[in-house]
């Protein structure tokens, strides 16, 4: 397995751009005392923290309509980052992304398991435009954004928001079909986080794949909202 060590002496390790992809054959380790910045999401663990088989992306589509969240959301696919302990710093652009939320009211919103949890910042800077929370116990999360103190984020239901979607047959021995009237794209992943294919074709050939469980990420191209489904290949 390839392994990339990120060291910090007098500087932070920075990944420029809005996406970080580490396939299952590689491993990025953010060492204790170092930090990694993924397009404005900065992770500073208190112990060596490995990242493998993950893609972390940024979108400017809020979690819900209205002013519930800011226009900056980070998503981890195909599965969450787990057992994280350390600081999480979220940068934002106050002119374009706050949805009229006062900077002094910002809280960090973390999607843990099946729900959103909000955390008061342990530190913030309204001049440099960031909030930071220190986590002293294991945190597992698949999405991060910010919202106003006292607000409650609403979990979108893919089918209710974007109409019915039918995926069949599941289990499948060869071809997987997706029926929907929306503009969708599809990504197929192994359970180890390796992307197998990305397509907009609603018919996916799986006969050549080993018999196991896969994750199908379905994304609405107009809203950028996505949901993952378990697919069994027999």
For residue range 82-115, what is the model confidence (pLDDT) as tens digits?
999 999 999 999 878 998 899 999 999 999 877 8
Cα–Cα distance between 228 and 37 in angstroms, integer? 26
Query: Is pLDDT of 42 > 80?
Result: yes
- The C-alpha R_g of the chain, in whole angstroms, comes to 19
Residue-wise pLDDT for 180-199, tens only, equals 888 899 989 887 678 899 99
CA atoms of 178 and 156, how far apart (whole Å): 20
The per-residue pLDDT for range 125-140, each reduced to its tens digit, is 999 999 999 999 999 9
CB 78 within 8 A of CB 115: no
The model scores a pTM over 0.75: no
Distance CA 116, CA 125 (A): 24
> Which is nearest to 38 in space by CA: 60, 2, 14?
14
Q: Provide CB contacts within 8 A for 10, sequence distance 6+.
A: none
Secondary-structure breakdown of the chain: helix, strand, coil percentages, each rounded to the nearest 5: 5, 50, 45
Beta bridge partners of 58: 74
Q: At 103, which helix (H) or strand (E)?
A: none
| Whether the Cβ atoms of residue 225 and residue 155 lie closer than 8 Å to each other | no
For residue 14, pLDDT over 60 is answered with no
Cross-strand pairs, 109? 118, 145
């Amino acid at each position: 397995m390839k392994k990339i060590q990120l060291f910090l002496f007098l500087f932070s390790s920075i990944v420029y751009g809005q996406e970080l992809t580490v396939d299952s054959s590689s491993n990025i380790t953010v060492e204790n005392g170092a930090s990694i910045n993924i397009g404005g999401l900065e992770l500073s663990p208190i112990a060596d923290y490995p990242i493998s088989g993950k893609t972390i992306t940024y979108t400017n589509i809020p979690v819900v309509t209205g002013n519930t969240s800011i226009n900056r959301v980070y998503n981890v696919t195909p599965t969450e980052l787990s057992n994280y302990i350390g600081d999480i710093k979220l940068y934002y652009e106050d002119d374009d992304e706050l949805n009229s939320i006062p900077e002094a009211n910002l809280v960090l919103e973390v999607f843990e398991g099946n729900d959103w949890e909000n955390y008061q910042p342990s530190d913030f800077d309204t001049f440099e435009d960031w909030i930071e929370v220190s986590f002293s116990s294991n945190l597992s999360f698949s999405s991060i954004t910010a919202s106003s103190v006292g607000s409650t984020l609403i979990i979108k239901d893919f089918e209710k928001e974007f109409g019915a979607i039918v995926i069949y047959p599941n289990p499948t021995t060869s071809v997987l079909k997706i029926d929907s009237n929306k503009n969708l794209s599809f990504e197929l992943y192994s359970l180890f986080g390796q992307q197998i294919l990305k397509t907009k074709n609603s018919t996916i050939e799986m006969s050549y794949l080993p018999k196991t469980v896969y994750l199908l990420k379905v994304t609405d191209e107009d809203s950028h909202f996505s949901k993952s489904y378990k697919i069994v290949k027999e």
